[in-house]
Amino acid sequence: MPDLIQILLRHLGTGQPVHDWCQDETRLGLKTLTGKIITLRGVKPQGIVGWSRDNFYLYGVVEPLSGESFFGEFSHLDHFCFQQFLNLFSQAIGFRLNLIQMDNGSFHKSLDLKWPDNIIPIFQPPSSPELNPIERLFLITRSDGGLKPYLESLKPGDFVWNRLILLIQSD
């Protein structure tokens, strides 16, 4: 606790704003999508289904007020990958005080995590995804009728990806 007080004293009162981020993660690329095939009457369609087992986790933070975002692609959903994400994010944002709102995932609260000095976690109440705006973006990525088929070819920074980020700022 004394470390947290020292961090707050270093950042607060400097005239620099405190940035409020929302964090979440999602898994992409796990399953091949199947659809309907149009054939002649009486002809049975032949569809090859190859269940792909290649997948990855997309970790992301978004600042809803400015639309600024940071995303990272990782192999697992665990505290090792989350630590790497925190380190990359901390380096990318530089010396600013950042509050990150996140769910109560066990890896978010791992005792092995070393929180960077410029990041302070805020844990939202259990079972309340509606409090986290980035959940809307990841909800779209998981819906079969939505943008899921297209997201696997997108990279953070692409025009379409940036347009998706704007969705979480609406409302």
- Residue 94 located in a structural domain: yes
Judge whether 5 lies within some domain.
no
Say if 133 falls within a structural domain. yes
Q: How many domains does the chain have?
A: 1
Work out the mean pLDDT of the chain and round it to a whole number: 77
Please give the pLDDT value at position 112: 93
Q: Which range marks the domain in which residue 94 is found?
A: 17-33+48-167
- Paired with 22 in beta bridges are 62, 101
**What is the pTM assigned to this prediction?**
0.69
Cβ within 8 Å of residue 167, ≥6 positions away:
136, 137, 140
59, β-bridge pairs: 25, 72
CATH value at residue 25: 3.30.420.10
Please list the ranges in the chain whose pLDDT falls under 70.
1-5, 7-13, 29-35, 47-54, 140-171
Q: Is 2 among the domain residues? A: no
Asked if residue 9 belongs to a domain, the reply is: no
Q: Say if 99 falls within a structural domain.
A: yes
Residue 38 lies in a domain: no
> Residue 11 domain-assigned?
no
